[in-house]
Structure 1
Amino acid sequence: MQEVPNKTWDEAAKRWLLEMQHKKDLRKDASKLKILSSFRGLYLKDMNRNFIMETINNLQCGSATKNRYIALVRAILRKAEREWDWLDKAPFLKQFKEPKKRVRWLTKDEAERLIEALPETIAEMVRFSLATGLRKSNVLFLEWSQIDLKHKVAWIHADQAKAEKPIGVALNRLAMDVLERQWKKHPRRVFTNKGVPVKVVSSTTWSRALIKAGIEDFRWHDLRHTWASWLVQAGVPIRDLQEMGGWETVAMVQKYAHLAPFHLHKHAALLDTKMTHDQVLVNQNAICSEQK
């Protein structure tokens, strides 16, 4: 049996960062590794489940964020076991239970108030997001080369999509209106401010607009939730929504299904028939009693 070398967590973390250069969110991995300073200098063989779970549990963050740390540690230790032969057996790490959150979306009136409260350039980006459901980065860095105005379509390339699969976007009238207003403001990028491409949306600007619009607990990403919620409420099937939004699985869009319970009307109506029938019987019994 091959002897396992005495490798430390530091060596494993460094190798992970070197081998995972293709990951789009590698910077987030690096930030998490810095925060996990308690692991520094430890040999992999000495990192048991209880120590890892206790360390992550002590982080000042919610269960969902803690689970992202667990996922990273688990992935590195599995690499050490299965590919690098640095570990006999990676410990089993169970995720923390996450509270289910409701989908946060805006009404049409709230959306109009938010747009009215924002600077025009950011307002245009919000309008486009609500019309297409595109993620923030896809809107920020959208280029004219990705758009066919004649055929009313846009493309998000695989390396720009979260699921790493290309997305074809059907541009509705709302989206086309925004693009037509941006036309020729910049030779390459769609959204600009005084001729300069927009690279970031100020959190201060966003917060002030929310306060002015009287909207609480709403992130930019919730614009995508709003777009999806509006479509489902308009009767768009979940599988079609999945394709439109570029989600990898149907399960990822099931959270919107409760917003369109239209197909359940026929089942709910069964109670109408039963209650009407029962009331008729009650009336008949009452009449018979009076006649006696």
Structure 2
Amino acid sequence: MGFDRQRTFEEVMIEYLSHAAQTQRSFDTTQHRVKALREFFAGRVMNDLSGKDIREYSSLRSKAGKSPATINRELAALSAAINWCAVELEWKIPNPVKGRTLREAESRVRWITRAEVDSLCRSARTQRFGDLLEDFIRLAVNTGCRKEEMIGLEWRRVDLASRLFYLEGEHTKAGKRRSIPLNEGAMSALKGRMSFRAENCPASPWVFSRRTGEKVVDLSDGFEGACKKAGIKDFRIHDLRHTCAAWLVSAGVPLIEVRDLLGHSTVQMTEKYAHLAPARVRDAVSVLDKPMSQSRYTDNPAGRAEGALKLVST
């Protein structure tokens, strides 16, 4: 293998995508990002890639209306491809992406109140397959699970007696297994799906299935229709997950426990909800008003995930 051979963008991406196709759960997303990169870098000799090229790419994508977050994810795909070829194939190519990402705004946190959830569910019930959509909404806001985690949920992983369902690594974004405790709101949603299954498709393995027993593929159209009818604007399916987190944090559940429930890989990902816990901060500073001997402020371990979810039961 010649270390000084000139390598094109296409060569790098073919090698990297061949690897990524076998290892990444989000391979479709990676392909989408590489498509955007190809429009600018097609035919480029990667050995000569410089910081100027990265800045030009970022500028063009910004002018095209793309957000800093989107541009950074695209550049991250380029960086990952370069790094993989440099390490695994020992290609001598530079990585000028390092240190040249754009500053991002705070991540979006959109959530709704319990009254708005009830309104959304009433709107859902008026639509075709409305009971299914309502159960999906109720399960989402009471567990904080991602859309894919719920749509792919099988009955064999649901334990109503123990009030849990289980997600294996293959079902989660972080690739780690976790168990999801079920409060009354979640139990009610699952019992609704169980009744539907018994009446229409008793052999179906899927919690969210059609009358034929086939797995539900997408609920986006029905969800958007319910939001519109309920007058809830700028609200996406993923925001149901934000809603669960917001309710938990507002009720005083520690961020580290919310992290465990949602399956975040780091507590930093959960910190975007920290501003919703002003009471916790007030309790903390109130310690300064008392002599140390009178302070009762301690780290209360009582709010484990299962107990915490009782606070958001709907």
TM range (shorter): 0.7 to 0.9
For structure 1, which runs of at least 5 residues remain unmatched after alignment?
274-292
Structure 1 residue 270 displacement after superposition: 8.8
Structure 1 residue 28 displacement after superposition: 1.4
Q: How does 1:235-274 map to 2 (within 5 A)?
A: 235-266=252-283
Match of 2:308 in 1: none
Query: Is the partner of 1:58 in helix, strand or coil?
Result: helix
Q: How does 1:129-140 map to 2 (within 5 A)?
A: 129-140=140-151
The question of 1:96 aligning with 2:102 is answered yes
Match of 2:91 in 1: 86
Question: CA–CA distance in 1 between the matches of 2:234 and 2:76?
Answer: 27
Match of 2:187 in 1: 176
Structure 1 window deviating more from structure 2 (156-165 vs 39-48): it is: 39-48
CA contact (8 A) 2:169 2:177 kept: yes
Structure 1 window deviating more from structure 2 (97-106 vs 109-118): it is: 97-106
Match for 1:214 among 231, 247, 251? Answer: 231
CA contact (8 A) 1:186 1:192 kept: no
Question: CA–CA distance in 2 between the matches of 1:130 and 1:186?
Answer: 26
Question: CA–CA distance in 2 between the matches of 1:56 and 1:78?
Answer: 20
Letter of the 1:216 partner, please give it: K
The question of 1:116 aligning with 2:122 is answered yes
Query: Is the partner of 1:179 in helix, strand or coil?
Result: helix
Question: CA–CA distance in 1 between the matches of 2:149 and 2:80?
Answer: 28
Letter of the 1:79 partner, please give it: W
Structure 1 residue 220 displacement after superposition: 0.7
Query: Is the partner of 2:249 in helix, strand or coil?
Result: helix
Structure 1 window deviating more from structure 2 (60-69 vs 44-53): it is: 44-53
Match for 2:111 among 105, 109, 129? Answer: 105
Question: CA–CA distance in 1 between the matches of 2:41 and 2:91?
Answer: 16
CA contact (8 A) 2:7 2:45 kept: yes
For structure 2, which runs of at least 5 residues remain unmatched after alignment?
125-129, 291-314
Root-mean-square deviation (CA, aligned residues, Å) is 2.1
The question of 1:39 aligning with 2:37 is answered no
Question: CA–CA distance in 2 between the matches of 1:62 and 1:72?
Answer: 16
The question of 1:157 aligning with 2:158 is answered no
Question: CA–CA distance in 1 between the matches of 2:242 and 2:272?
Answer: 10
Match for 2:77 among 57, 72, 89? Answer: 72
Query: Is the partner of 1:123 in helix, strand or coil?
Result: helix
Question: CA–CA distance in 2 between the matches of 1:77 and 1:46?
Answer: 13
Match of 2:4 in 1: 4
Structure 1 residue 92 displacement after superposition: 3.8
Query: Is the partner of 1:134 in helix, strand or coil?
Result: coil
Query: Is the partner of 2:103 in helix, strand or coil?
Result: coil
CA contact (8 A) 2:75 2:97 kept: no
1:102/1:10 Cα in 2 relative to 1: closer, same or farther (>3 Å)?
closer
Question: CA–CA distance in 1 between the matches of 2:85 and 2:52?
Answer: 19
Structure 1 residue 222 displacement after superposition: 0.7
State percent identity of aligned pairs. Answer: 31
Query: Is the partner of 2:165 in helix, strand or coil?
Result: strand
Match of 2:159 in 1: 148
Query: Is the partner of 2:166 in helix, strand or coil?
Result: strand
* Greater gyration radius: 1
Structure 1 residue 198 displacement after superposition: 4.1
1:102/1:35 Cα in 2 relative to 1: closer, same or farther (>3 Å)?
closer
Match of 1:55 in 2: 57
CA contact (8 A) 1:144 1:189 kept: yes
Question: CA–CA distance in 2 between the matches of 1:197 and 1:19?
Answer: 32
Query: Is the partner of 1:103 in helix, strand or coil?
Result: coil
1:121/1:266 Cα in 2 relative to 1: closer, same or farther (>3 Å)?
closer
CA contact (8 A) 1:155 1:169 kept: yes
